[in-house]
Chains A and B, each alone.
Chain A
Amino acid sequence: MSDAEAHLPEHHSGLAHQFEDLEQQQESDFLGIWLFLVTEIMFFGGLFAAYAIYRFFYFAAFEGGSHILDARLGAANTAVLLGSSLTMALSVRSAQTGNRRALVVFLIATLILGGAFLGVKAYEYNQKFVEHVVPGLDWAPEGEVLARLAPGGVQHAELYFIFYFAMTGLHAIHMVIGMGLLIWLAIRGRKGDFTPHYFAPVEVVGLYWHFVDIVWIFLFPLLYLIGGRY
């Protein structure tokens, strides 16, 4: 034990007793978060597979449903989320370099960008109620919206919107959880819990946040840009 202690960069309160040193603990942390992300790929993977099947069956309906969405809003929201990934990566970097102030600033910036994303999403969800294209709760498309959905079959377009709400909803839940974790990190970061030797929580939450970003990178073209908009 005294041999192992000699290799410790410092005796840190963040080191759990089952690990030899912080480096071993960190590698274990990475392994854990990546295995969790693998289960998340399987979780979202099932939805993506179901989406692929029904999009193949009812392509015209999915295309019609897709054209109800505002592609420019979706693109803008993609940019907002990519920005939050940038600030998240910079948070981890600030923790690595021991810049406590920058760490907290970048974490809060990530939080704000995540909130902006959800704000736009909430506006879009509200639009769906205005257009009466919410399956189960308010499904009564009329006028121009109905004209766009009719070629593919209105009932099948309802299926598209079920996928739209299920996939973006599950994504939004992940965002809310991520934002909760960011608040926790910002509080701990402000207290000075993270040092260049111990910042695994920041990096682990960062990996989760980037994963959620990747899910959106695929959701955007799959939901907003079906079949082109020419």
Chain B
Amino acid sequence: MSHIVVPQKTYIYIFLTLIGLTALTTGVAYVDLGPFNTVVALAIAFSKMLLVILFFMNVRNSSGLIRIIIVAAFFWFALLIAFTMSDYRTRTWTPAPDSWSSAPPTHP
């Protein structure tokens, strides 16, 4: 993996792209996109993360074992967020039956 020496130019181009994306995400925050402000901000952050992982951390040239560890970690994180939010976001969708004695957890 580390036998490959990446040209200095590559690192500088990646850095400039990252700076461009930072400027973009800051600029977009001043434009009203409604709920898509968050979507765009996270999409840009995700792209920046991919650039750092693939190029600066040089995962592009790393072994399959390392890649599977990284993918597993992010898969775990996706599960954490997806299951947590699917609970909290849907709690109020269906009212609890009247026969239930105690009040269900309500949206604060």
Q: Which A residues are closer than 8 A to B by beta carbons?
A: 26-27, 30-31, 34-35, 37-38, 41-42, 45-46, 48-49, 52-53, 56-58, 71-72, 75, 78-79, 82-83, 85-86, 88-90, 92-93, 96-97, 199, 203, 206-207, 210-211, 213-214, 217-218, 220-222, 225-230
Max chain A CB contacts within 10 Å: which of B31, B70, B80, B108? B80
Q: For A210, what are the chain B residues with a Cβ–Cβ distance below 8 Å? A: 52-53, 56-57
Q: How large is the interface on B (under 10, 10 to 19, 20 to 34, 35 or more residues)?
A: 35 or more
Inter-subunit contact A221/B44 (CB<8 Å):
yes
Beyond A57-B88, A93-B5: 18 further Cβ-contacts under 8 Å? A35-B69, A38-B72, A42-B73, A49-B80, A75-B23, A86-B12, A86-B56, A90-B11, A93-B6, A93-B8, A214-B52, A220-B25, A221-B41, A221-B44, A221-B45, A225-B25, A228-B29, A228-B31
Q: For A41, what are the chain B residues with a Cβ–Cβ distance below 8 Å? A: 73-74, 76-77
A86 CA to B88 CA in the complex, in Å?
39
Q: For A213, what are the chain B residues with a Cβ–Cβ distance below 8 Å? A: 52, 56
Cβ of A61 to closest chain B Cβ, rounded Å: 11
Q: Does B94 contact A (CB under 8 A)?
A: no
Cβ of B104 to closest chain A Cβ, rounded Å: 16
User: DSSP class of A's interface residues: helix, strand, loop or mixed?
Assistant: helix
CB-CB under 8 A for A229 and B30, given A42-B76, A57-B107:
yes
Q: Which residue of chain B has its CB nearest to the CB of A83?
A: B15
Inter-subunit contact B70/A34 (CB<8 Å):
yes
A-B contact pairs, 28 of them (CB 8 A): A34-B66, A34-B69, A41-B73, A41-B76, A42-B76, A45-B76, A53-B85, A82-B22, A85-B18, A85-B52, A88-B56, A93-B8, A93-B11, A199-B2, A213-B56, A217-B45, A217-B48, A217-B49, A220-B45, A221-B29, A221-B42, A221-B44, A225-B25, A225-B26, A225-B29, A228-B32, A229-B29, A229-B30
Q: For A203, what are the chain B residues with a Cβ–Cβ distance below 8 Å? A: 2
Inter-subunit contact B44/A45 (CB<8 Å):
no
Q: Does B19 contact A (CB under 8 A)?
A: yes
A217 CA to B77 CA in the complex, in Å?
16
A24 CA to B27 CA in the complex, in Å?
46
Out of A75, A206, A207, name the residue touching B22 (CB < 8 Å). Answer: A75
Inter-subunit contact A71/B26 (CB<8 Å):
yes
Q: For A211, what are the chain B residues with a Cβ–Cβ distance below 8 Å? A: 57
Q: Which residue of chain A has its CB nearest to the CB of B48?
A: A217
